[in-house]
Structure 1
């Protein structure tokens, strides 16, 4: 009776214990095989760096998108309701109708215009926005961003709120006066007289986005309406129009002033459900207003950001692809070196399938180890990327990712489990495919040819 060779001892799954042992021996290089060992180590490092780099870059880009989207939509509504005319009145009714729509968190009327702001040091163009105290209470990002002063009694404050970067540029601090000049002021027989307004700085805020901290000036709502002349004197209901000989008191008693707003911003619970919410808002407004959403207003910016994410993913995936080619090269060298061993194994009864699995496990072990190490390194680095950036900047005394260019006070990062899973599966798939050709070549090696090497 013949005795089964030791190579038939079974291990877990479809692999035998013998195959695991041989594959493990091939991964541990002996003294005369140091060169092959160096190649294997470099291949392992290639997989580690490829996986880690891809996870870190995708996490940082996710952080940028999330941070930008959160701050942009934290100050600007998901929808903006406007008219084609220069503002509209009756906005309280519009706000009530909008806030009655299911899925709407709140609606905020606002006044907005451009002007020239001057301080003690310089002058610069700014965006002047009027907002009420009731609306301000809903904007947590702006309300909590005050670093000097406060928003208490904002409606009657007769002051302005400016960003910290703008205050540094103008050379003003809390309590200093700034002058706002609007070229579209009061019409006169000699032309348009610019509107000029000097007010003290009551609030200095820092939102963390240079775009807002450098260019926005906030005014109380009624002050902004008067400054941009967003009002209309209408005859009171049931009152006869005053005659030509009417006194000023009679004219004032006959008319009432209707203030206007530039638009109403709508904040919804699900910013991604643009199509569904748009139809609800249009139905509530009966088509009287033009509605634009945040995707339309920021289409170019976020489309470019999405394209950049895809391109970076493809480019960085090439690092893993190069590492996979290194696995092919190292396994081909291993097969060439182990030709006599393969011949001996074949004469002892090892099947071609066993040889195929041995070399597949040898290469895949490198890919699996590199992927797991890259996963750990990438996730740890991505979670602590801002601390690492700050440390490197302090040690080297240079500015890495300056906020003036990247619109961020820090380097954000958000690890997406779904994207991390895709990176891991991509790495495992490429490294596994890289083992097939060398393993197939080893399985096809003829015993006589192997012994003659």
Structure 2
């Protein structure tokens, strides 16, 4: 009751009440800022993981000892291993893509329709066109940012140039082909939408020379005068792929799954690289950034806690006579400490609860708020070219919110101990000497 009276302002105590209100606002701002920033960073990491692991496998398997010609059998064997969701194979190469007066380097992946359907993130992201009759279309699929860079749209021709072309007496000549754009997709990640191009598997195998011509079994030496038709009939084409990607049920269980994949007797020898190895530097930097941001933003709450100390010290000075009267009436030092501890802690509790509500509301509407501010000010906030994603993600972690609340309440309570102890040390005789 006494602590509550001290929190309510009277005319002559208005200044102390204003200081307490500002302190409460400081705690609320600190808690809200910490919740919003951590939620955005969690959403950023989760969205990147979803995009990266939705398109790239948890393991990438490269062939050793011999060319990857038995890819269908290998994929079927890998998908039978416990813990493997599915696997896909592909042909990959780097080329120069040209459109209407603009060129850029891209990564081309050749995949058939059966494998594309397994990549739901890519398969469902087609904004224009579709994947119907993909294997026989002899066209390409590109991201919408790449389409903007090249200045092409659905049905336009894209020219791709591979420096590793046919050998001539004068050296290697570039291999140039043109393909129509059959699909334009939007994955929501700048890197994939700007630098990836997909084409059907067989045209990709032909373009990147991922095949070899061998004599059919039982065929003897060919007649030197054999016609082209006879030569073509005598040889058969054996296709290859560049690598395979393996998707597992638990992306964090890469160590155990690596041992399981490498020790399985039904699969051929493969070199495996997991997603943590490929993105180790990137996600380590994200983790360090999260820790640093949490530490720095916690200082806002710490500053607000110091404000609690200053406001309580002013309140103790102002209430010195009240403290003396209470002591002469029989109040113990512990009772005086409790009064001022409750006063300061109440400021922290109200500020923390206000900050939690405000932080959760802002975190839940991070992208609409970003878009509104960007449109109002005419300034690009969190541009996708820098932050990889086309929208501002947010994912609130209840555990982190609980940690922030506990931190704010703990600092608020600790901030009350010294002023409350000083109040309990007041000598009633000295306090009332000049009253």
TM-score by length of 2: 0.96
Q: Helix, strand or coil for the counterpart of 2:101? A: coil
1:432 aligns with 2:387: no
1:33 aligns with 2:18: no
Give yes or no for contact 2:65–2:269 (8 Å, CA) kept in 1: no
What is the CA-CA distance between 1:248 and the residue it aligns to? Answer: 4.8
- How far apart, CA to CA, are the structure 2 residues paired with 1:411 and 1:350? 56
Gaps of 5+ in 2: none
- How far apart, CA to CA, are the structure 2 residues paired with 1:272 and 1:164? 31
Deviates more, 1:116-125 or 1:186-195: 186-195
Q: Structure 1, residues 72-115: CA drift from partner, whole Å, max 9, x if none? A: 11111111001358962111111011101111111000111100
- How far apart, CA to CA, are the structure 1 residues paired with 2:30 and 2:152? 49
- How far apart, CA to CA, are the structure 2 residues paired with 1:294 and 1:181? 30
What is the CA-CA distance between 1:240 and the residue it aligns to? Answer: 4.3
- How far apart, CA to CA, are the structure 1 residues paired with 2:224 and 2:285? 61
- Matched residue, 1:163: 143
Deviates more, 1:250-259 or 1:167-176: 250-259
Residues 287 and 151 (structure 1 numbering): CA distance in 2 closer, same or farther, change over 3 Å?
closer
- How far apart, CA to CA, are the structure 2 residues paired with 1:323 and 1:413? 26
What is the CA-CA distance between 1:53 and the residue it aligns to? Answer: 0.1
Deviates more, 1:347-356 or 1:235-244: 235-244
- How far apart, CA to CA, are the structure 2 residues paired with 1:45 and 1:172? 53
Q: Helix, strand or coil for the counterpart of 2:298? A: helix
Give yes or no for contact 1:130–1:222 (8 Å, CA) kept in 2: yes
What is the CA-CA distance between 1:314 and the residue it aligns to? Answer: 0.2
- Matched residue, 1:72: 52
1:98 aligns with 2:98: no
Out of 179, 192, 212, the residue aligned to residue 212 of structure 1 is 192
1:135 aligns with 2:135: no
1:52 aligns with 2:47: no
- How far apart, CA to CA, are the structure 1 residues paired with 2:226 and 2:433? 121
Residues 376 and 241 (structure 1 numbering): CA distance in 2 closer, same or farther, change over 3 Å?
farther
Alignment of 1:276-425 (within 5 A): 276-284=256-264, 288-425=269-406
1:194 aligns with 2:171: no
- Matched residue, 2:237: 257
1:112 aligns with 2:76: no
- How far apart, CA to CA, are the structure 2 residues paired with 1:221 and 1:171? 25
TM-score by length of 1: 0.92
Give yes or no for contact 2:32–2:358 (8 Å, CA) kept in 1: yes
- How far apart, CA to CA, are the structure 2 residues paired with 1:126 and 1:330? 61
Q: Helix, strand or coil for the counterpart of 2:152? A: coil
What is the CA-CA distance between 1:284 and the residue it aligns to? Answer: 2.3
What is the CA-CA distance between 1:394 and the residue it aligns to? Answer: 2.0
Give yes or no for contact 1:87–1:263 (8 Å, CA) kept in 2: no
- How far apart, CA to CA, are the structure 1 residues paired with 2:268 and 2:232? 35
- How far apart, CA to CA, are the structure 1 residues paired with 2:84 and 2:74? 13
Give yes or no for contact 1:115–1:125 (8 Å, CA) kept in 2: yes
- Matched residue, 1:10: none
- How far apart, CA to CA, are the structure 2 residues paired with 1:44 and 1:86? 69
Q: Helix, strand or coil for the counterpart of 1:101? A: coil
Give yes or no for contact 1:165–1:214 (8 Å, CA) kept in 2: yes
Q: Helix, strand or coil for the counterpart of 1:61? A: helix
Gaps of 5+ in 1: 1-20
- Matched residue, 1:15: none
Residues 85 and 157 (structure 1 numbering): CA distance in 2 closer, same or farther, change over 3 Å?
farther
- Matched residue, 1:14: none
- How far apart, CA to CA, are the structure 2 residues paired with 1:432 and 1:180? 66
Residues 26 and 246 (structure 1 numbering): CA distance in 2 closer, same or farther, change over 3 Å?
same
Residues 172 and 293 (structure 1 numbering): CA distance in 2 closer, same or farther, change over 3 Å?
same
- How far apart, CA to CA, are the structure 1 residues paired with 2:320 and 2:99? 82
- How far apart, CA to CA, are the structure 1 residues paired with 2:67 and 2:314? 76
- How far apart, CA to CA, are the structure 2 residues paired with 1:234 and 1:186? 19
Out of 172, 178, 187, the residue aligned to residue 158 of structure 2 is 178
Q: Structure 1, residues 176-219: CA drift from partner, whole Å, max 9, x if none? A: 11110000112223211211111111111111111111111111
Q: What is the aligned length?
A: 433
